[in-house]
Structure 1
Amino acid sequence: MATTVSSQQTGTALIVIDVQESFRRRANWAAVSEPEIVERVDRLVGAARAKGDLVIWVLHSEPGSGTVFDPALGHVHLIEGLVPLDGEPVLTKTAHNAFTTTNLQQLLTQQGVRELVVCGIRTEQCCETTTRVGADLGYAMVFVTEATATHPIEHRDAPAGREPAEILADPATLGTAEIIARTEYALAGRFARIATIAEYEKA
Structure 2
Amino acid sequence: MNRALLVIDVQESFRQLPDWELVSEPDIVGQVNRLVSLARAQDDLVIWVLGSRAGSGTVFDPARGYVRLMDGLDRATDEPVLVKSAHNAFTTTNLHQMLTRRGVRELTVCGIKTEQCCETTTRVAADLGFDVTFAIDATATCPIPDLDGGSALGVRDIIERTRYALSGRFATIRTVAELTGTPLR
TM-score by length of 1: 0.87
Name the Cα RMSD after superposition: 0.9
Matches within 5 A, 1:73-152: 73-152=64-143
SS in 1 for 2:177: helix
Deviations 1:154-185 (CA, angstroms, capped at 9, x unpaired): 11213xxxxxxxxxxxx621000000000000
In the alignment, which of 43, 58, 75 is matched to residue 67 of structure 1?
58
Deviations 1:45-84 (CA, angstroms, capped at 9, x unpaired): 0111111110000000000000000000000000101132
Deviations 1:139-158 (CA, angstroms, capped at 9, x unpaired): 00100000000000011213
For structure 2, the 5+ residue unaligned runs are none
Distance 1:19 1:55 in 2: 13
SS in 2 for 1:91: strand
> How far 1:114 sits from its partner (Å)?
0.1
Larger radius of gyration: 1
Match of 2:174 in 1: 195
Distance 1:83 1:51 in 2: 16
Number of aligned residues: 181
- Post-superposition, which runs of at least 4 consecutive aligned residues in structure 1 deviate over 4 A? none
Match of 1:18 in 2: 9
Contact 2:9 2:50 in 1 (8 A): yes
Contact 2:87 2:117 in 1 (8 A): yes
Distance 1:24 1:128 in 2: 20
TM-score by length of 2: 0.96
Match of 2:36 in 1: 45
Question: Equivalent pairs: percent with the same residue?
Answer: 63
Distance 2:134 2:38 in 1: 15
> How far 1:200 sits from its partner (Å)?
1.8
Distance 2:39 2:180 in 1: 8
Match of 1:4 in 2: none
One-letter identity of the residue aligned with 1:177: R
For structure 1, the 5+ residue unaligned runs are 1-8, 159-170
> How far 1:110 sits from its partner (Å)?
1.0
Contact 2:3 2:44 in 1 (8 A): yes
One-letter identity of the residue aligned with 1:53: D
Deviations 1:3-59 (CA, angstroms, capped at 9, x unpaired): xxxxxx2x1100000000000011111000110110000111011111111000000
Match of 1:164 in 2: none
Distance 1:184 1:67 in 2: 30
Distance 1:112 1:73 in 2: 36
In the alignment, which of 23, 26, 29 is matched to residue 35 of structure 1?
26
Distance 1:53 1:133 in 2: 20
Match of 2:159 in 1: 180
